[in-house]
């Protein structure tokens, strides 16, 4: 089993990429501030919301970018509803599957275009299940489990200020059937398998909530990774501006960190590049 990697097959995974990821984890674990796992009360969205509230201007939401046009004097961003925005530079932070749907005019340089087209993006589905009664205290087994069971994936036991939860996270090959399934189907499948493997859970769970990252229209997956050969072929190219005025940022563009920290690292780098160019 691939330690939770959202990859369908080992031969599609770059060893260099995994070494990079593991060294980032080692650095993080060596940090004085490291604790095994930390949660944000109310959910991770509270962090960008707080960052947004600290800005001296409004952010416009619900703008679905369709095209980015670069000109000599600046860039124009065109939305599906016809709205247009002009600026000297643009920082594009959409995940790779969404960036592939944006029309760049003129087209991106060859290596940028290749990185956008071929950076693989993991697939995964989360099912959050409130626990009304701690069934693991009844059957005497741990609440969480890590299994190659194709319907259940990994189950993590979470104790939150709002109560106990189980988080079933199904990624990679185990997630294949869920990629085209609606939320009710996913929920029914996961709960049935949970109760089959842990009969004590029956009647002790609340209403589950599904986030199917593979079907989420503005995510279309989970994490970027690299296939064999891609690190040396175009690793890092998106961290350089395209057509002088188009900058990329996001988890898939970071050079060192991964996850949210990677998104922040790449965002800081892109902002620095824009400020330097202005
Ligand atoms: C299940 C799961 C668990 C995770 N757990 C952790 C964790 O514990 N720690 C951690 O550090 N990271 C974790 N991550 C990863 C973390 O969520 C991502 O790395 C991070 O959110 C990436 O940030 P981003 O800004 O690159 O992309 P996103 O957060 O995906 O933001 C991209 C934005 O672009 C918008 N967008 C997309 N297309 C368009 C378009 N055409 N026009 C306009 N807007 C568009 C989207 O709506 C979205 O707001 C997890 C991810 C998943 C799926």
Domain boundary among 174, 191, 212: 212
Which whole-number Å values give the CA distances from 212 to 62, 127, 158, in the listed order?
20, 8, 19
pLDDT over 90 at 20, yes or no? no
Q: What is the mean pLDDT of residues 146-162?
A: 86
The per-residue pLDDT for range 246-256, each reduced to its tens digit, is 999 999 999 98
Q: What is the mean pLDDT of residues 119-126?
A: 94
Which whole-number Å values give the CA distances from 124 to 12, 24, 62, 130, 182, in the listed order?
16, 22, 24, 20, 14
Q: What is the mean pLDDT of residues 156-161?
A: 89
Q: Measuring from atom 53 of ligand 1, which residue has the nearest CA?
A: 222
122 in contact with ligand 1, CB cutoff 6 A: no
Lowest mean pLDDT among 3-17, 29-43, 215-229, 241-255: 29-43
Which whole-number Å values give the CA distances from 156 to 77, 125, 226, 267, in the listed order?
41, 13, 26, 30
Has residue 181 been placed in a domain? yes
CB 201 within 8 A of CB 135: yes
**Same domain, yes or no: 136 and 176:** yes
pLDDT over 60 at 2, yes or no? no
Prediction pTM value: 0.92
**Same domain, yes or no: 62 and 78:** yes
219 in contact with ligand 1, CB cutoff 6 A: yes
Of residues 3 and 53, the one with the higher pLDDT is 53
121 in contact with ligand 1, CB cutoff 6 A: no
Q: What is the mean pLDDT of residues 92-117?
A: 97
Q: Measuring from atom 1 of ligand 1, which residue has the nearest CA?
A: 126
CB 20 within 8 A of CB 27: no
Q: What is the mean pLDDT of residues 211-237?
A: 94
**Same domain, yes or no: 87 and 134:** no
Closest atom of ligand 1 to 122 CA is: 53
Q: Measuring from atom 19 of ligand 1, which residue has the nearest CA?
A: 259
pLDDT over 90 at 149, yes or no? no
**Same domain, yes or no: 177 and 196:** yes
Domain boundary among 188, 212, 236: 212
Alpha-carbon gap, residue 253 to 138, rounded angstroms: 46
| Range of the structural domain that residue 173 is part of | 123-212
pLDDT of residue 1: 41
pLDDT over 70 at 36, yes or no? no
pLDDT of residue 173: 84
Mean pLDDT of the chain: 91
* The two structure tokens encoding residue 7: 């990859």
pLDDT of residue 5: 57
pLDDT over 90 at 8, yes or no? no
- Within 8 A by CB and 6+ apart from 196, the residues are none
pLDDT over 70 at 3, yes or no? no
221 in contact with ligand 1, CB cutoff 6 A: no
Number of domains in the chain: 2
Confidence of residue 85 (pLDDT cuts 50, 70, 90): very high
């Amino acid at each position: 089993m691939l330690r939770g990697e959202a990859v369908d097959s080992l031969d599609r995974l770059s060893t260099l990429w995994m070494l990079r990821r593991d060294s980032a984890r080692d650095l993080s674990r060596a940090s004085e501030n490291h604790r095994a796992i930390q949660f944000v009360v109310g959910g991770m969205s509270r962090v960008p919301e707080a960052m947004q509230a600290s800005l001296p201007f409004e952010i416009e939401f619900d703008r679905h970018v369709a095209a980015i046009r670069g000109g000599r004097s600046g860039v124009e961003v065109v939305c599906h509803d016809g709205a247009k925005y002009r600026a000297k530079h643009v920082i594009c932070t959409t995940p790779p599957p969404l960036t592939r749907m944006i029309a760049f005019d003129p087209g991106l340089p060859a290596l940028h275009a290749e990185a956008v087209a071929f950076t693989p993006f993991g697939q995964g589905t989360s099912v959050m299940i409130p626990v009304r009664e701690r069934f693991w205290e009844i059957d005497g087994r741990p609440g969480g489990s890590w299994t190659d069971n194709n319907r259940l994936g990994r189950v993590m036991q979470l104790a939150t200020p709002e109560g106990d939860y189980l988080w079933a996270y199904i990624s990679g090959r185990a997630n294949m059937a869920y990629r085209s399934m609606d939320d009710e189907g996913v929920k029914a499948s996961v709960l049935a398998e949970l109760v089959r493997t842990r009969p004590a859970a029956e009647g002790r769970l609340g209403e589950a909530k599904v986030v199917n990252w593979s079907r989420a229209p503005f995510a279309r997956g989970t994490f970027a990774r690299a296939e064999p050969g891609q690190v040396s072929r175009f690793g890092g190219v998106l961290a350089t501006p395209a057509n002088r005025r188009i900058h990329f940022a996001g988890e898939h563009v970071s050079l060192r960190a991964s996850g949210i920290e990677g998104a922040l690292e790449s965002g800081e780098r892109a902002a620095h590049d824009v400020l330097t160019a202005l």
